[in-house]
Structures are given as C-alpha cells and as structure tokens.
Structure 1
C-alpha cells in the first residue's frame, strides 16, 4: 500500500514553500526517518523525512515547484519493492514531447543506480547523541571525502559542541558516497551527516555514481540538455549564488527547463569557473581621490567564531552581568614549596612516574581552605544556596580552540601525586580534543594559572554557578623585608574573585590568607593546622 509524502505543516506566518531539493529519486530505497526532500520557505528550510521504510515510487512536486502546507509531494511504496518496478513507474511520468530522449537518459540513470547499489550496503552516518545540556553542534572537519577509501572505525568527521569535540567514525570498510552536512554547518543530535557505501574499498569510484545518480536521473527527467536564453534559479540555488557572488550566465542548469539547481551552483563553486569578472577600472577623475599612503600588503582574514569560543564568551559575559563580582589580592612566598620541589623532585618522579609541579600544592591548599570556609565552596541556584560537602576543583586548561575546565573530583582525598597525574592527563587530552563532557561538568571551585604565560597579576572571572575562582601568577624574585632585613624571595601574586552576593569580604580575605599560610609552611597540609 502506497504512503503519501506530505509537506510539513507551515507556521501561520508562512503561506507557501518551494521544493528546494529531492534527495531521493523514484526507485530509490528509503529507511524510516531518512531525509527525502527539502522545502524552502521565506524563513527556514524544512526537512521532510520518510514516514516508514519503503521505495520512492512517484514524485508529484518537482524541484522549484511552489507547494502549500501539507500538500502531497510524492508517494512511497512498500519496503522490499523492486527498484526496477519503481523505475518503470518513474518512466511513465515522462512528458510525451520529450519521451524519446528522456527515456534513454532515464535508462542510463537506472543503470548507474544499479551500479551504485552493487558497491555494497548503504549506511547513514549520523551525528552522535548529544547530552541533554547540548542542543546542537557544528561540523568542524571532514577527514574523508566522497569516494575516498575508509577502514572501519576510522574517523570520518569531527563535531564541535560548546563543550567538547566528538568524533564520528566509519561503520564499516567502504567509502563515503554523499556528504549532507558540509564543514561549518550546524547539526542536531543524531542528524544524518552523510551516506556511506560499505565494502566500497577498492571501488571508491562506485560511491560517486550513487551520490550523483539522483542528480543525473533528475536531469534526465527534467530535460536538462535544453539550453534556454534566460536562467531560472531554484530558491536554494539563488541563495548560494548570492552568498558566493557568482555570474549566473556561467552556470549550466540541469533542472527542468534548464533550471539551475543547488547542486549546479555547488559544482560551479567547487570548480571556481563562475566567478564574476573584475570590475573595470574607475574613471580617471575618480582615481585622483585622496587615499592614505600605505606600503606593502594589508591582509585581513574573517573566520566564524567556533562554537566553543561562542560559549566561553556567553558564559563570561553572563558571569559579569549576574554576579556581584569582587577580587581580593595577596602574595605568597614560594620559597618553601620551591625548596621541597628541589629536594624531592627526583625521588618523587621515581616513585610516582610524574613530575612534582606547583599545581598539586595549590589544589591541596585550596581543598583544605574550602573545608574551613564552606561559603566559598557553595553555589547559587536561583534564590537558593547549595552547600557542597565535597571539593571538586576545576583546573583551567588552555587549548588552541579555547579555554576548557576539566574537574578533579574529591580533591580532599587525593594525594599530590594523584593531582599531578590528573592535571597532566587533562592537559594532554584537552589539546587533542579527547575530553568527555562529563569531565567538564560540575565543580565547586576553579583554579586558573596565568603565570605559565607570564602574567604577573590578573582578575579572573567567575565560572558560574561557582561563587569563587583562584588566580595563580608568575613567580618573580622581589626584594622583601624579612625579620628587619631585605631579602630576595620568589613571590607570587594570588587573586581571588568571588560573588559578593554569597561571600562576605571578610571570608574571602581569610580564605586567601589561609591558602597563603598553607603554601608558605607546607607542613600545615600534613598536620591539618
């Protein structure tokens, strides 16, 4: 029994839409919820998916046609129907005026479809399932292109969310036959990114006919060989032409009546043969206008802000707008910590297979101070205060894509060696984009170290919903008054930014002084004093 494929229900403000692109042709098999056709309105492009598995048997609204809300676009035959029968149904729709020529091309299209099917089972390559806190992601990079041989579990693409980069791997040995989501496009959880032909290996070229067969069959049915004087553009093609500022006269249309389709424009963009000619030189009288004299090139480059960078910007602005943020400063003499590191660094590395750094001391000192000042370890949730009976400390890590804050859990029970190992592991995986989302969620307090880049003093911004953040800085030798004498000591400025809605100035200052005392006399960490 045939199933009707209908246009979506348009919003009240949208009267009609235009058929932008058919992703399936008569005779093609379709899986349930697989994308079949796109409808472009004046506000958004709507996707129409298969209501059930089957075979596309008839297309009633061609690309470029105007359709109404819930209008029937085509019909879907029962699953398992033979492609040849569906192809015959498609051939019966050919207009009598061009039947002879189009029948021959339609038969060629059917042959190319069969060749593509022979290359192996077709898989949908989908985006990963995003956590509830993530609505969508951006296709960052395609590591493989259409027709390129791929091994099972080899990385095909990277999806960048506002928290982490997720990898999409190949479901089997084969090759990509079609890419639906180009680099830079936004995708939702489990969206179909591409089609993948299994066991295409050495027959990588077999994937290409499948990706292009729909265009070829469509062109055959619509009489694409006929050349018209005026160029007619489909809505999706018109948008692409405007985006790339192309010369329409240089683009060959393959749609009905020579209509230029989105695929035609994309081919022209890839080939680079439809660019507009350079504008003629300005008239001599205009050339005399005063122009600033600059020597050499003055290049500029515009790139879209990454999703991670957008999220960082949003959260930092939110923190400044919603919190009553203040910062208190102090300085710590690092002589005792540096002496410990110098005395035990070799023994420590042999025992734990990790170098003894400064961060382990700061994390342990912060954990102890958080136990003594629970307000600093709390968070604000609406009009409620949430007191945490544990210490989960986030450590800010800089990467090429931006700043991420993985969290060390239960730091009060961790040894300094465990802290150092955790931080080294976080840093490596953060730079490789391998951190999991769950590793960057939560946290009751944050430490950031601008000193590794040479910062002498800064004002760190809160990491909501936390109410405090500690900033470390560069260790610099300075003359200090010690017991009435001037001595050169390795000093570090510390900065504690805090939310004054939750934390009083007295508690913030005493918290920072506690960290200073624990670091200047590390024995306090062992004696719990």
Structure 2
C-alpha cells in the first residue's frame, strides 16, 4: 500500500512554500525518517522525512513548484529500490566483479555535465550571497554532499551534489550575489571517481590544509555548523569521531572534541594564524571592510522599525539575587540528578514573569493595527545569541511549566539555535520576551521591543554592591532589571508595578510556590 508524502503544516503567517530540492528520485530506496524533500518558505527551510521505508513510487510536484500546507507531494511504495533493481536484472548479480570494473571505468571517464543552480527563493527574498564553497574544482564529491552555502536574509540554504562526481567549474565565487536559480557551477557526474578509488587503495597523503592529519581532504562528511566550529577552533577533522549517519560529523561531535581536547590543532593553519597575528608596521592604520550578512540586515531593519513605530520607554529596578543564589547552591546537585539538567537563573525569571504577566495583562498584550489583543496565556520568548545573529524561540504556556521544564526547554533551544535547526513555528507567537545580556557581562542596557509584543525584560550581570539592609551596610549580589515597554499600550504605573512584582517574587522565591 502506497504512503502519501505530504508537505508540513505551515504556520498561519506562512501561506505557501516552494519545493526546493528532491533528495530522492522515483525508484530510489527510502528508509524511515530519511530526508526526501525540502520545502522552502519565506523564513525557513522545512525538511520532509519518510514516514515508512520503501521505494519512492512517484513525485507529484517538481522542484520550484509552489505548494500549500499538507499538500500531497508524492507517494512511497512497498519494497526497496535496490531490491527491485536486482530483481529486474538478475544477470548483473552473476558478474559482480565485471560490473565493478565497468563502474570504475565510467567513473574515471566522467558522465553528463549539469549546471549547479541556486535554490528557488521565496517571493520575499530577492537574492542571496554565496557564503562558502565546501568543495574545490576536481575534488571528488558524493551524491547529496553539500557543495555550497547560499546565505539569504533569513536562512542559509545548502546546495547539494546531484550525483557522485566532481565540480568542473565554479561560476559564482564566495561573496558574490546570486538570484533565484542562478547558475553557480558546472558539475560532472562520475568525474573525480578515479581519484577516489586511488585514495581507497593508497595511504592518504598529508596536505598543507591537513597539517599533522593523515586523512585526505574531504574524507569525512561534516555538517555546516560543525564546519564553522572546526574552522573557529582550528581542529583536525580526522581526530573527530562522527556520530551522524554514515559517520557524518555533527556539531555535538565537535563540541565534545573541544571539551575533551581530543582534536589536535593542525600545523599549517596555526602557522597562518601566527602570520596573521603579526604586529602591524608602526604608523599603519589598517581597515577591513566586509559586507553585512543578510540576517544581520534583517535584524537591523526590524530593530529600527520597532523604534520608529512604538512609543518605547524603559523603566529600571534592581533585585537582590541572594535568595535565588542560596536556593541554587542548596539544591543544584539534587536538581541535576532528578531532572538531568542544571538549575539556572532563567527558570526563576520565566516563572516570575509568568506570574507577573497574569497580574498585569496589559504587559502581556499586543497591538494589531488599531486593536489591542489580550492573551489569556503566557508564551515567553527567550533571546538566544548565535554566530549568525539573535533568534527568539518561544516557550509555550510557561504558567503551567515547572522550572525543570523551563530549563530543559532553554537548553534545547540554545543547542538547536546554534545548529540552525529551529523551526519557524518555534520562533513565532510569543507574548513577552526575556533577554539576558548579563551572560556577556552587561551591567545595564535598554532592550528593544520585539514587535508585535509590547514589553521586553532585560536581565543583567550579578554584581556585589554595598546595600543598606535593616539600617546596616551589607555586600549583596545585585542585578539591574530593565523593562522596555510600548507606552501606547502600557502606562508607566503598570510597567513600574510589573517590575516591582518581579523583584518581590525573585527576592522571596517562596512567593512563586504560594502565588502571592
């Protein structure tokens, strides 16, 4: 019985998507949960996985077609593609050695040349930037291996190899601007295969890029996020054990290697780094000009728009974090054993904010044109800093969440945000936002609103300061709090009282349990 392949359920703000790339062709064998097709919306690329194992029987839409939410994209039939081909050609099984030889000749001779094109961009995206070429001309490439990253103002799109082969020519260099479906390179199926066979038979030779590694360049498949970390920490790929499919090196593998110190630094990049770090000649005034990333441009537009369209004010207060810190110190080990997550400060702030939002519904509201929308729930966004920019995933129904659930959610968001695996639905619909500049050492700041929300809370660094306590001077761990709010919606009295309520709940955490 055939299984239907359907497009994901799009959020309300996304009307349609574009079929970006089919990773399987009709007749190909498909495993359960294997990536089949990617759907690109105006904000993120959504992956459609196989619901069952079998063979891709047919595709009902082509790459570049526009599809709606839950539209049928194709069908998966029973049986494996490889098995079906074997039954159709039993003679091929009788002479495996001959077939292998023919394959090598075909690989060495090269196959059909095809154009490598940029993905079909959504209507809201006019063009993209060639961010990184992961393969060089002539380098052996396997099917579905990433060739190049295209950065748009919202997401980074990966362009993969259509078959086993090699790049013949690169048409768009790194940093160049490309339009939808623009030609990026020329690819030849089967090219580079001879070199790959030779590498299998001969010991790999160290290259300048390998340093002290004895593995050939490209010998391991590395995820994009992992590649950035490897370059940032100057690691030896051959020393990192990949836990992904087919030995794919994931970001988690790189982070583990960095923590354990098991991946030695390569010699050549270190030498380059030393040369780059050489002091400038006295009297020189060096400058470096780099283009702003598209995501950074979008963030800039949204921040300016927020300041231009809202009557934004900020009120400040300070909170004595002594009670929360004592509670953490007393129960951190027990909490970790019970919930398998560390007890942080954000769990207390999210719970305190949820209680305060119930008491001051104006702070939890949003403005839609000339209407005020009051939300009967608390969905709190938590700002997460990544290499590409700031994202704000949302914790849903925080009033009903336990502190352990909040901490687990935040850890999961942070990990997936840095890997670029957050879904579009996870970054929409928040009613309030919390941002923590204190983790970077900020003592005080003025956070900018996250439209259409009408308020945002800024946390800051905990710093010991002399305070008057019961007529005596004591050294207390203090944190400044900043609440930026839209004065069109929230009066100053409500904003101040909201912040005072937060202060009281945090200075006496028992209030959170008693809801007083």
Q: CA 1:129–1:425 in structure 2 vs 1: closer, same or farther (change >3 Å)?
A: farther
CA distance in 1, matches of 2:495, 2:338: 37
Q: Who is 2:131 aligned against?
A: 140
Looking at structure 1, the residues matched to 187 and 425 of structure 2 have their Cα atoms a distance apart, in angstroms, of 30
Task: Report the alpha carbon displacement of residue 459 of structure 1 after superposing the two structures with TM.
Answer: 0.8
Q: Structure 1 residues 355, 116: CA separation in 2 closer, same or farther (over 3 Å shift)? A: closer
Are the aligned partners of 1:180 and 1:192 in contact in 2 as well (CA < 8 Å)? yes
Supply the distance in 2 between the matched residues of 1:198 and 1:373 (Cα, whole angstroms): 63
Match of 1:371 in 2: 358
Pairing 1:196-275 to 2, within 5 Å after superposition:
196-203=187-194
User: 5 Å matches for 1:402-413?
Assistant: 402-413=389-400
Answering whether residue 153 of structure 2 is matched by residue 162 of structure 1, we say yes
Contact 1:451–1:474 at 8 Å: present in 2 too?
yes
- 1:24-423, aligned counterparts within 5 Å? 119-122=110-113, 125-128=116-119, 134-188=125-179, 192-203=183-194, 295-423=282-410
**Cα deviation code 1:236-277 (max 9, x no counterpart):** xxxxxxxxxxxxxxxxxxxxxxxxxxxxxxxxxxxxxxxxxx
Distance 1:352 1:130, change over 3 A: farther
Bigger CA drift: 407-416 or 352-361? 407-416
The structure with more radius of gyration: 1
- Cα 1:180–1:455 change in 2 (3 A) is same
Distance 2:427 2:131 in 1: 20
Aligned to 1:498: 485
Cα distance in 1, alignment partners of residues 378 and 169 from structure 2: 49
Looking at structure 1, the residues matched to 400 and 322 of structure 2 have their Cα atoms a distance apart, in angstroms, of: 26
Distance in 1 between the 2:117 and 2:351 partners?
A: 43
Quick one: structure 1 residues 369 and 352, their matched pair in 2 at CA, closer, same or farther if it must change by over 3 Å?
same
1:479 aligns with 2:466: yes
Distance 1:193 1:380, change over 3 A: farther
Q: Structure 1 residue 189: deviation in Å?
A: 5.2
Q: CA deviation at 1:410?
A: 2.5
Structure 2 runs not aligned, ≥5 long: 1-105, 197-280
Quote the residue 1:511 is aligned against: 498
TM norm structure 2? 0.58
* Aligned-pair CA distance for 1:360: 1.2
- Aligned-pair distance for 1:324? 0.5
TM-score w.r.t. the length of structure 1 is 0.57
Contact kept? 1:147, 1:204, Cα under 8 Å: no
CA positional deviation for 1:350: 1.4
Residue by residue over 1:458-500, the C-alpha shift from the partner in whole angstroms, topping out at 9 and shown as x without a partner, is 1111112211110001111122222232222111110000010
Shift of 1:332: 0.8
**Following the alignment from structure 1 to structure 2, what is the Cα–Cα distance between the partners of residues 421 and 131?**
34
Q: Provide the aligned C-alpha RMSD in A.
A: 2.7
